[in-house]
Structure 1
Amino acid sequence: MTVPDVVGLPFHIGRDIADDAGVTLANPDPDGPPIGAIAWPGLFYITSQQPTAGAEVYRWDSVAVELTEHGTAEFNAIRDNNEPPLKDAEHATPERERYIDLTDRDHT
């Protein structure tokens, strides 16, 4: 099964998407309460997941998710600073790939 991306979604939506994908959302603390008990009642958003989206797992494996209740996220994030985005030409410049020849050569 391929792990879906549920970060940023409300828990109840992420749970349904995970269910449709054949995986189960879980509390990262194996000794803690079930994740459904943490996310009820109220509106909770998924802030992280492990394994990450795109990972291959067995059917009904657990995907550990961290939650935050709606309205409790930190407000210290930078918002709309009206500055142009940073430019980094290095990362956009293609470089010649390097390959190592590991083929067996006949040394007779």
Structure 2
Amino acid sequence: MTPSGARWSGESEVPELVGLTVREARNVGHQAGFVVTAADVDGPPLGELTWPGIWVVTGQAPSPGTRLRRWENVVIEFEKRSGDGSGGVREPRRPLPDPGMFGVELDPTE
């Protein structure tokens, strides 16, 4: 067997994918010699299911450390990470609130 043929045969250990983004999981899985896929292999491609946004792997089968023939499927479960990390809209509201609007809530005797 040639060294390049070794990449296509034999077994490899399934890596830990939970906690990675789907993009990272696909790269790590590919480097280990596996195809990372969604549960419905006949459905839309993983890239289509996880676009747009940031999606995080929440489960995988088989579990990490399992030995499989190279280029077999590793099925992942994933969910969209809430928020985009921007912290919301930071622009001032228009029109600006009336500066005296909150004055009615103040008790000047206190």
TM-score where L is the length of structure 1: 0.62
Residue of 51, 55, 68 corresponding to 1:44: 55
Q: CA deviation at 1:35?
A: 1.6
CA distance in 1, matches of 2:52, 2:24: 15
- 2:4 maps to 1:5: no
Where do 1:13-24 residues align within 5 Å?
Answer: 13-24=24-35
Aligned-pair identity in percent equals: 35
Where do 1:1-108 residues align within 5 Å?
Answer: 1-71=12-82
What residue identity is the alignment partner of 2:39?
P
Deviations 1:24-47 (Å, cap 9, x if unpaired)?
A: 111112332122211122100000
Consecutive unaligned residues of structure 1, counting only runs of 5 or more, are: 73-108
What residue identity is the alignment partner of 1:29?
D
SS at match of 2:47: helix
SS at match of 2:59: strand
TM-score where L is the length of structure 2: 0.61
Larger % of strand: which? Answer: 2
Larger % of helix: which? Answer: 2
Q: What is the RMSD computed on CA atoms of the aligned residues?
A: 1.3
